Every structure is written in C-alpha cells, then in structure tokens.
C-alpha cells in the first residue's frame, strides 16, 4: 500500500508518468473484466452441459427400463434413482476436478510470490460452488423426463411424451450451448438432438433384448 501511495505521489509530480499510470490501470481493469466475463461464460456453458447430461441420462434410463417394465411406478422410480445418483456423481466429480485446478493455480501463485494477493485468490475457482452448480444443473435436466412421465398412465402415450419433451429440451440446451460456444445454431442443435435420440434408442433396444434373453 505504501509503495502504491509513493508511486501515485511520484506520478502527480510528473504528468507523463500519471498518464502512463492511468493507461496501465485501465488495461489491468480491462483484463480483469475480460477474465470475469470468460469465467462466467465458462460456468454457464458447464451448467448447460450438466443439465443436458441430467436430461439425457435420466431419460435414457427411464426409456430403457420402460422397454421391459411398462408400469409408470417403475419408470418414475428409475428416473428418481438416476437423478439422485447422477447429480451426486457429477457434484463429486466436479468438486475433485475443480479442487485439483485450485491447488495447481494456488501453487503457481506461491511460486510467483502472489500468495498474499487477495484479489488473485478470489479469482481462483471455487470447488464448492462448482459442486453445487453441478447438482442443480443435473437435477434441472433430470426433472424434465420425470415430469413428462409422472401423470400419464398409458404406456405408449407416456413413452411418447417422454421422448417428445426430452427432444424439445435437447433443442433448447443445444441452442444455448451454441450461443455460449459461438457455434452454428442449426448444426449444434441438430447434433445434440440426434445424439439424444441415438442414446435413448440404443438403451431401449439393448434393454429390451437383454430382457427377452433373461426370460
């Protein structure tokens, strides 16, 4: 702090130094703003991917079990189990991954002698926030097929509604991912949609085949 005050006092005595000092401050502020924007975009994109994962994995489980067990209770219980297991698995994985990144960046700061800079420390990734974001994003996506199947008794109608609402949600998540990643909208959404159909179709077909073999 004393060094900063002395630098400011010196700059006040020299207008050219003051101008350079202002330019440097503006550059530093711009770098921080760019970093924060990139960080927010990264978190948003991770949230969209987490929601898409929750949507597709839960829907595929429900459709797969529904290929052999046609009652609504079994399908919904399968979806709930997939939601809980998937959300906590994502949270733990994200926590471990981000904590490792935190340790690496903190070690780098210490090597560079910046361990006392609180601003730098605040810009490090927070593993607890990452884990919470993963749980919420995965659960948000997993709720979609559960709501689609919750109030429909007829098996074929229920299966069709689940596929329909999941397809719509895949289009939405694919569009958001394209916007955040600055990718072509049509190509990105179509890729996500077709991938989702393939995942649900393969799960349905394999589960039905294994069910027949086990009889």
Answer yes or no: is 36 within a domain. no
Total number of domains constituting the chain: 1
The residue range of the domain holding 86 is 53-210
pLDDT band at 33 (very low <50, low <70, confident <90, very high): very low
The answer to whether residue 67 is domain-embedded is: yes
In this structure, what token pair is assigned to residue 111?
């090597």
pLDDT band at 142 (very low <50, low <70, confident <90, very high): very high
* Residues 52-74: b if buried by 16+ CB within 10 A, e if exposed: bbbbbbbbbbbbbbbbbbeebee
In a domain, 3, yes or no: no
Q: How many CA atoms lie within 13 A of 139 on its CB side?
A: 10
Average pLDDT over residues 164-186: 86
Any domain includes 37: no
Residue at 176 is within a domain: yes
- Indicate whether 7 belongs to any domain: no
Residue 119 maps to a domain: yes
Query: pTM, whole model, 2 decimals?
Result: 0.72
Q: Is residue 24 part of a domain?
A: no
Q: Is the pLDDT of residue 145 over 90?
A: yes
Burial of 91 (0-12, 13-18, 19+ CB in 10 A): buried
Query: Over 60: is that where the pLDDT of 28 sits?
Result: no
């Amino acid at each position: 702090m004393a060094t900063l005050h002395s630098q400011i006092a010196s700059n006040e005595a020299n207008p050219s130094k003051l101008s350079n000092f202002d330019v440097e401050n503006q550059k530093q502020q711009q770098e921080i703003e760019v970093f924060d924007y990139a960080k927010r975009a990264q978190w948003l994109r991770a949230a969209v991917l987490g929601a898409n994962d929750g949507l597709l994995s839960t829907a595929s489980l429900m459709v797969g079990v529904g290929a052999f067990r046609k009652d609504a209770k079994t399908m919904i219980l399968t979806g709930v189990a997939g939601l809980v297991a998937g959300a906590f698995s994502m949270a733990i994985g994200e926590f471990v991954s981000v904590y490792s990144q935190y340790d690496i960046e903190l070690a780098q700061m210490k090597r560079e002698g910046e361990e006392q800079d609180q601003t730098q420390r605040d810009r490090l990734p927070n593993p607890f926030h990452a884990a919470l974001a993963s749980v919420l994003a995965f659960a948000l996506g997993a709720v979609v097929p559960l709501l689609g199947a919750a109030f429909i008794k007829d098996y074929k109608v229920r299966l069709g509604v689940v596929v329909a609402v999941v397809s719509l949600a895949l289009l939405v998540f694919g569009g958001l991912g394209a916007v955040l990643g600055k990718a072509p909208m049509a190509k990105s959404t179509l890729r996500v949609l077709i991938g989702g159909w393939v995942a649900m179709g393969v799960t349905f077909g394999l589960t039905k085949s294994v069910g027949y073999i086990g009889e």
